[in-house]
Chains A and B, each alone.
Chain A
Amino acid sequence: MPTVSMTVNGQPAAGEVEGRTLLVEFLREHLRLTGTHVGCDTSQCGACVVHVNGKSVKSCTMLAAQADGAEVTTIEGLATNGELHPMQAAFKEHHGLQCGFCTPGMVMSAVDLLNTNANPSEREIREWLEGNICRCTGYNNIVKAIQAAAGQTGG
């Protein structure tokens, strides 16, 4: 079996995997980083979004082997020294999560949005989130949380 090695949340990680192993399987089953979730099998729901070399990626749609040598950040790597990342804090403050299952992917996706577009309009936020499905919140408070994290008020 091939060996893959990458940096995950700043730490070196390596393992022997079958060629068909998906990045999300490597994270969940090999590294036991279970914060990244699997909600579908057609790359639609976005529960598995992580950052690969700084860009949001659906980790169910990428082989572990494709991430060989990459810098990967998962939801577990977002907070620093026990302090929530501003996006995490905004989701909490604005009740942008309920059951929490879509949340890791939603937060990782939202962080990439603001990295890409620091001051998105409501329409741009809603369109960006097209690849992240939430069944609980109706998105109302997720949008508010992202607006707040972008420093927008009155959202």
Chain B
Amino acid sequence: MTEGTGIGARVRRTEDNRFLTGKGRYTDDINRIGQAYACFLRSPHAHAKIDGIDTGAAKNAPGVIAVLTGDDVAADGLGGIPCGFSPTGTQAPQNAPPRPALVQGKACFVGDLVAMVIADNLNQAKDAVELIQVDYQELPANVDPAKATDPSTPRIHEAAENNLVAEWGIGDKEAADQAFAQAHHVTKLDLINNRQIPNAMEPRCSIGEHDEANESYTLYTTSQNPHVTRLLLAAFVMQIPEHKLRVVSPDVGGGFGSKIPHYPEEALVTWSAKKVGRPVKWTADRSESFLSDTHGRDHVTRAELALDENGKFLALRVHTAASLGAYLSTFGALSTTYLYGTVLSGPYVIPAIHCGVTIVFTNTAPIDAERGAGRPEATYLVERLVENAAREMGIDRADIRRRNFIPADAFPYQTPVVLAYDSGNYDPILDMALKSADYAGFEARSADAKSRGKLRGIGFSTYIEACGIAPSNVAGAIGAGIGLYESAEIRFAVTGAVSVHTGSHSHGQGHETTFAQIVVDRLGVPFDNVEIVHGDTARVQWGHGTYGSRSLAVGGSAIAVACDKAIAKGKKVAAHLLEASAADIEFKDGNFTVSGTDKSKSFGEIIGAAMVPHNFPLDEMEPGLDQRAFYDPKNFTFPAGCHICEVEIDPDTGRVAVVNWTAVDDFGKIVNPMIVEGQIHGGIAHGIGQALLENCVYDPETGQLVTGSYMDYCMPRADDLPNFNLGFTETLCPHNPLGVKGCGEAGAIAAPPALINAVTDAIGVDIDMPATPEKVWRALQSRAQAAE
């Protein structure tokens, strides 16, 4: 179906009118009556003991209502900011030092929260922060994950000897070592997966409010998962029952992982709202976002691939040092363990794999999920190894992949690293990409570039993604503190309006449109009758939120199940009205019909009969048609794809221009192609950003964030990017009711290795991300010198 408003249609987005006319309602657009403004004093040092804080002058400054420090947090018994993940598969339980909402005696990264000022207006709060005197005793700092466990590196936390979070491993080391011993060829790579700052365009914002009458709180906050935030804040920090806290995350301006965690600022505005008897609002400026949003990646890795004489993969060995920053964030080590090691098989048969990760603390902002979360890091090393191996062995980059793909008839396929892929068909993806990118014509384009003094390179990435996170029993087995099902509730109004309350959260993904298409397809009701409700714990029964490309596969499936329950009950209502047996009622295109007759009732009529039950089997059923569903996925989903990048490099300046980008992806069933294309565009841009432009740099001596503004941290701009050439294949997911797989992270996973492989192809030297002009130019100079 491509016409209309059901599954497969390019329905224009419901949410766009308010965004386009300035009527969106982001958290900072909300102003509560009598609200006061918070501003934070953040540590200017990466590592410092705090011997005293003098708040006297600040407290006496104009408009100041309160100045709060770690002592106040301790005196009120506020719990620490919790980590919700403790990985299994470690040599010992992870070290999880406490993280008080405001530091107590010690700051551990530049941006750590030292004190909070609340004032009548924002400028007064900002001015007063300047008046706080802190007696810091600076300590040596470390920002390098590879150095964190050296005995000479300063220890950050008493509870973490050698700055170790945990040593984690997956796979069969003995089997991998044996395969390497017998290998015909081994390709080795030392690489850095460069630290990133997610940079959603909307800075974080939180407003806390206390209702004295009910002794309850409301938190408006920029969250990808308001229910999880409510759980963490209520149960662990505030230590109040969850029904005493409402969390509202209205329109949210992008997340990319950085709005998953529960942050100390959320706890502080909520706690202080009661203390000062007024709503308390805090909005990050961009500098604070750079310093204190969770960052992503930051891996230092050695990876090796063993091959036989035919270029068949025998084994993969990986060791990574991964930083989690100064404290464990909400999902802590998840991105560096099970979202990383389990996808190292990629789309390939690799008989033996072992991966070890040394997970450490550094004096930097906490690290958590960033678009892709572990899967980009895994895909990057696998795809670079594959392309280098092809080059070293003289095998075409497409052929080496084809020789090693998991065959289409081998699904379900059990990898050596836990996951069992449900479905896939990789050859047609590669075929379509080769054709679409005109791979055969590359040599001619390369020669043409050479005639213009440019170096042209081509690079591939054939990725697998594990998304639709996640079966709850698996989540529990790997160390998550929550289940990862999703909830949906479908409510009907007498006049036929349908409200769908979902635990997924939209911060750009277009759920108000896509989810409504599912309901239209399932129930046959008009698109305009359907409303999607999300982002408010008072309106949605429960939710795990949006990350890990899970909204459609898990949240959408929950909606489909709730619709099916409504249809099942509707059949009984129709049977009563049509004086037939429920077994004889068929439901199609929005109508309940007695099989083989023209006796029929529309869905709208059934809603009316159920909501106004004048003629209704009240002795058999309750009135109403509302349904709820809790959908727990049976497996992850496994989208796959092939991205092909072509670059042209100016050898005089080292500047890399991305001139062609072809992406062919298999996301299973696509509900709204327009929205899916947009997700791919954005994901590729994010990946190109990491590979070409973006790099989070801390000064190695002082631990200062060097890239703390858009002047220093290079975000992709419109003139850095090409148009993207997209194609799709379709292998349905066999285990969810929609056949869908998820698409939000694919571009960010696939893009970095494709781009770096293209650069490496062009310059003939390995290079780490980001491939800045300086780095490329230096690589070309060193190659030229080596050739002399």
Binding site for B on A (CB under 8 A): 18, 20, 32-42, 44-45, 47, 74-76, 78-79, 84, 88, 91-93, 95, 97-104, 107, 122-123, 125-127, 129-130, 132-143
Contacts and interface: CB of A to CB of B under 8 A. Distances in A.
B682 A138 contact: yes
A37 B28 CA distance: 9
Q: Which of B13, B254, B677, B721 has its CB near the most chain A CB atoms (within 10 A)?
A: B254
Interface residues of B, number: 57
A146 B554 CA distance: 35
Contact of B24 (A35, A45, A135, A142): A35
B253 A99 contact: yes
A88 B201 contact: no
A132 B253 CA distance: 15
Nearest to A82: B21
Given A92-B12, A126-B718, A141-B681, A99 B709 contact: no
A42 B286 contact: yes
> Main SS of the interface on chain A?
loop
B123 A98 contact: no
B724 A135 contact: no
A39 B21 contact: no
A99 B717 contact: no
A69 to B, nearest CB: 23
Interface string B708-744: 0111000111110101100000000000000000000
19 contacts: A41-B285, A47-B201, A74-B22, A76-B21, A95-B13, A97-B16, A98-B682, A99-B251, A99-B252, A100-B253, A103-B20, A123-B719, A126-B717, A133-B717, A135-B200, A137-B682, A138-B685, A139-B717, A143-B723
Nearest to B123: A18
B720 to A, nearest CB: 8
Q: Which of A36, A45, A100 has its CB near the most chain B CB atoms (within 10 A)?
A: A100
B718 A41 contact: no
Contacts of A38: 28, 203, 285
B510 interface: yes
B236 interface: no
Contact of B17 (A20, A84, A132): A84
Contacts of B24: 35, 100-101
B256 interface: yes
Interface string B481-510: 000000000000000000000000001111
A73 B175 CA distance: 68
Contacts of B200: 99, 101, 135
A141 B21 contact: no
Interface of B: 12-13, 15-26, 28-29, 31, 123, 199-203, 251-254, 256, 285-287, 507-510, 674-675, 677-678, 681-686, 709-711, 715-719, 721, 723-724, 747
> Main SS of the interface on chain B?
loop
A133 B719 contact: no
Contact of B256 (A92, A135, A143): A135
Contacts of A78: 21
A95 to B, nearest CB: 5
A131 B253 CA distance: 18
6 closest A-B pairs by beta carbon, nearest first, are: A35-B22, A101-B253, A100-B19, A99-B508, A138-B685, A44-B710
A138 B684 contact: yes
B704 to A, nearest CB: 17
A125 B123 CA distance: 38
A104 B256 CA distance: 20
A129 to B, nearest CB: 4
A40 B289 CA distance: 9
Contact of A95 (B22, B678, B717, B747): B678
A84 B21 contact: yes
A113 to B, nearest CB: 11
A91 B22 CA distance: 14
A65 B717 CA distance: 31
A91 B13 contact: no
A155 to B, nearest CB: 9
B232 to A, nearest CB: 24
Given A100-B20, A100-B24, A140-B724, 4 more contacts: A45-B710, A76-B22, A92-B17, A141-B681
Contacts of B510: 98
